[in-house]
Structure 1
Amino acid sequence: MTALAPAIWGSTYLVATEWLPPDRPLLAATVRALPAGLILMVFARPLPTGIWLWRALVLGTLNIGAFNFLLFVAAYHLPGGTAAMIMAVQPMLVLVLAALLIGDSIRYQQVAACVLGAGGVALLVFKGTAAADVVGVAAALAGAACMAAGITLTKLWGRPAGVGLLPFTGWQLVAGGLVLSPFTLAVEGLPTAISGTNIIGFGYLMSLGAVISYAIWFRGIERLPAPAVSFLALVSPIVATLLGYLFLRQTLSVPQLAGTVVIIAAVLLAQPWPGKAGGGARVFPLTATPPVEGKRS
């Protein structure tokens, strides 16, 4: 079920190009997050208090605000295929962060899944070489790091007791939207005209693209190991490629089909299948052995 979230996000490119105002990616990201989050916070209380005031800000910035901003910067400075290949390092970062912060072990099949996933993304989206752009590469790497940190911290902190999934999602959408708003106003400004098609597009982004997809995503982070969730994000470029083929008359080559199969194999390899949740050979521990009570570690 968690894979539905990145599958929905994979449709964002089609919606943006066909239904939204052109050349306003920051506006799309802000409208996607902020109004949806405010609606959730009005109808799905409680509001964050105490330690969760800053935790919600941190998670919303990492998962939504900073991630989307950096993603768009990378998209402007790099070809889409190059940006996607760099972003494919995100599961590798989650492996390390989950080991350091949560105490998860890194297993051989997870490392193999990282290699397969990166190779599959390369086959799926890469369409030639291009000169490296320092700003674009830095933004793509920072975006991958934001997503990896967001997944890991969401897993580490969980949800406060008595708070449902929808208000928890709303907190992060509002925080992410507030982070994006000043950049949107400074770089793009407000649109002078909005069509009925644009309204439908924004409505899709707010409902399926934000409220429903992020609620599913955060639910998945609660129920699955952080590395397993991170690999599911690779479903997004598959859906984007298939929708481009079906609705935008884009080509679908044999290497792209092979890349799709390889990505699916990587996602499946990284999942905790029943009876194997604790199995797998460990590569090396990144955290110290927990201290035994009564002894010094």
Structure 2
Amino acid sequence: MEDKWRVVAVTAVAPIAWGATYVVTRHLLPSDAPLWGAALRALPAGLLLWALARRRPRGAWWGKAPLLGMLNFGAFFVLVYVAAQLLPSSIAASIMAMAPLALAGLAWPLLAQRPTVRWAIGAAVGLAGVVLVVGLGAGSLSPAGVAASVIALLSSSLGAILTTRWRDETPLLATTSWQLTAGGVALVVIAGVVEGPPPRVDAAGVAAYAGVAVIATALAFVCWFTGLRHLSAGTVGLIGLLNPVTGVLLGVAVGGESLALPQLLGILLVIAAIAVANTARGRGRTQPPPGRPRLITTAASPSPSSR
């Protein structure tokens, strides 16, 4: 159980970092260059991880990496960037909190991971918490922003499930770096054609881009994929509910957004949901899909204590 909670803690780094990106993007990055915003997030992160992994794709990964790169990073980052500019931080983050349903729904047919009763209870409690978190003072919402968030959710969920289904003995650091690099290269080309030269930003903007690339991308996605390798997809999705909690708290602290008592209750329900889902006996590790080999941890993967 202790090892499981270590994996949960590592996985939680991802949604917390992602929740913070909504505020950073909204207040520190240019709103008129979403393609460059996504490219400058993905490519530096991919190159950083590739330098650490020191391994090139082999065999089928030459085809899998670009596809996963577009699902997990290319299309996803553009849509999230657009949503962050069109929606309040709490709303944009909370739409992505539907990840437990999307991940569990896709994991059932693709990974043979059937949702448990305990997971369903946790999902119900967590989603109720999300409703409380964002159910007050939302005001009018941009339909384009909502659509961008929903499509981003579906794209990233499918990418996460396929990343888990196609896993092998290849180190996690390497597969993550290939996906980020492939998605980033595609984004740079598209951004150059559609938006022209990269946007000019001040020192705060440069620091914001660097933080998003290193912390909210390179580190966060390694933590996220670590969770997907060792926990069920539905459980990882529930941990993702920390995304809107972070978005709301930072929106209050930095963006001047309001926080009411029901929202505080909602945050407590989200935390309770994660606890409920992760106290099930014998559910600490995800079994590989039928016909798939078990992961063999290598020196290039995150440390055993984080697995």
Give the TM bin, normalised by the shorter chain: 0.7 to 0.9
Aligned equivalent of 2:165? 156
Aligned equivalent of 1:172? 179
| Structure 1 ranges of 4+ moved more than 6 A | none
The partner residue of 2:281 within 255, 259, 275 is 275
Q: Which amino acid aligns with 2:245?
A: I
Name stretches of at least 5 consecutive residues in structure 1 with no aligned partner.
279-289, 291-297
Q: Which moved more, 1:246-255 or 1:124-133?
A: 124-133
Aligned equivalent of 2:223? 216
Question: Where in structure 2 are the equivalents of 1:109-148 lying within 5 Å?
Answer: 109-126=118-135, 127-128=137-138, 130=140, 133=143, 135-148=144-157
The answer to whether the 8 A contact 2:118-2:280 is kept is no
User: 1:144, CA displacement in angstroms?
Assistant: 1.6
Q: Which amino acid aligns with 2:179?
A: Q
Deviations along 1:159-209, one digit per CA (max 9) or x if unpaired, are: x42x33322221111122134334433444334533222221122112112
Aligned equivalent of 2:248? 241
The answer to whether the 8 A contact 2:13-2:220 is kept is yes
Change in Cα spacing, 1:241 to 1:45, as seen in structure 2 (3 Å) is same
Change in Cα spacing, 1:59 to 1:224, as seen in structure 2 (3 Å) is same
The answer to whether the 8 A contact 1:85-1:118 is kept is no
Q: Which moved more, 1:45-54 or 1:108-117?
A: 108-117
Change in Cα spacing, 1:128 to 1:204, as seen in structure 2 (3 Å) is closer
The answer to whether the 8 A contact 1:87-1:144 is kept is yes
Task: Tell me how far apart the structure 1 counterparts of residues 82 and 200 of structure 2 sit (CA, whole Å).
Answer: 25
Task: Tell me how far apart the structure 2 counterparts of residues 17 and 253 of structure 1 sit (CA, whole Å).
Answer: 22
User: 1:35, CA displacement in angstroms?
Assistant: 1.8
Deviations along 1:84-121, one digit per CA (max 9) or x if unpaired, are: 45433321121121111111122223223333333222
Change in Cα spacing, 1:182 to 1:124, as seen in structure 2 (3 Å) is farther
Aligned equivalent of 2:236? 229
User: 1:74, CA displacement in angstroms?
Assistant: 4.2
- TM-score, length of structure 1 as denominator length: 0.81
User: 1:9, CA displacement in angstroms?
Assistant: 1.5
User: 1:77, CA displacement in angstroms?
Assistant: 5.6
The answer to whether the 8 A contact 1:84-1:125 is kept is no
Task: Tell me how far apart the structure 2 counterparts of residues 15 and 242 of structure 1 sit (CA, whole Å).
Answer: 13
The answer to whether the 8 A contact 1:148-1:230 is kept is no
Task: Tell me how far apart the structure 2 counterparts of residues 131 and 9 of structure 1 sit (CA, whole Å).
Answer: 21
Aligned equivalent of 2:297? none
Which secondary structure state, in structure 1, belongs to the residue aligned with residue 196 of structure 2?
coil
Q: Which amino acid aligns with 1:40?
A: L
Task: Tell me how far apart the structure 2 counterparts of residues 203 and 23 of structure 1 sit (CA, whole Å).
Answer: 19
The partner residue of 1:257 within 248, 257, 264 is 264
The answer to whether the 8 A contact 1:80-1:125 is kept is no
Which secondary structure state, in structure 2, belongs to the residue aligned with residue 35 of structure 1?
helix
Which secondary structure state, in structure 2, belongs to the residue aligned with residue 206 of structure 1?
helix
The answer to whether the 8 A contact 2:25-2:84 is kept is no
Aligned equivalent of 1:284? none
Which secondary structure state, in structure 2, belongs to the residue aligned with residue 88 of structure 1?
helix
Q: Does 1:47 align with 2:56?
A: yes
Aligned equivalent of 2:21? 12
The answer to whether the 8 A contact 1:99-1:105 is kept is yes
Task: Tell me how far apart the structure 2 counterparts of residues 4 and 78 of structure 1 sit (CA, whole Å).
Answer: 23
The answer to whether the 8 A contact 1:97-1:149 is kept is yes
Task: Tell me how far apart the structure 1 counterparts of residues 174 and 17 of structure 2 sit (CA, whole Å).
Answer: 20
Aligned residue pairs total 277
User: 1:227, CA displacement in angstroms?
Assistant: 1.0
Task: Tell me how far apart the structure 2 counterparts of residues 140 and 60 of structure 1 sit (CA, whole Å).
Answer: 18
Change in Cα spacing, 1:113 to 1:183, as seen in structure 2 (3 Å) is farther
Change in Cα spacing, 1:132 to 1:195, as seen in structure 2 (3 Å) is closer
Percent identity of the aligned residues?
A: 36
The structure number with the bigger radius of gyration is 1
Q: Which amino acid aligns with 1:195?
A: D
Aligned equivalent of 1:201? 208
Q: Which moved more, 1:231-240 or 1:76-85?
A: 76-85
Q: CA RMSD in A?
A: 2.8
Which secondary structure state, in structure 2, belongs to the residue aligned with residue 101 of structure 1?
helix
Task: Tell me how far apart the structure 2 counterparts of residues 274 and 115 of structure 1 sit (CA, whole Å).
Answer: 16
Question: Where in structure 2 are the equivalents of 1:48-127 lying within 5 Å?
Answer: 48-75=57-84, 82-126=91-135, 127=137
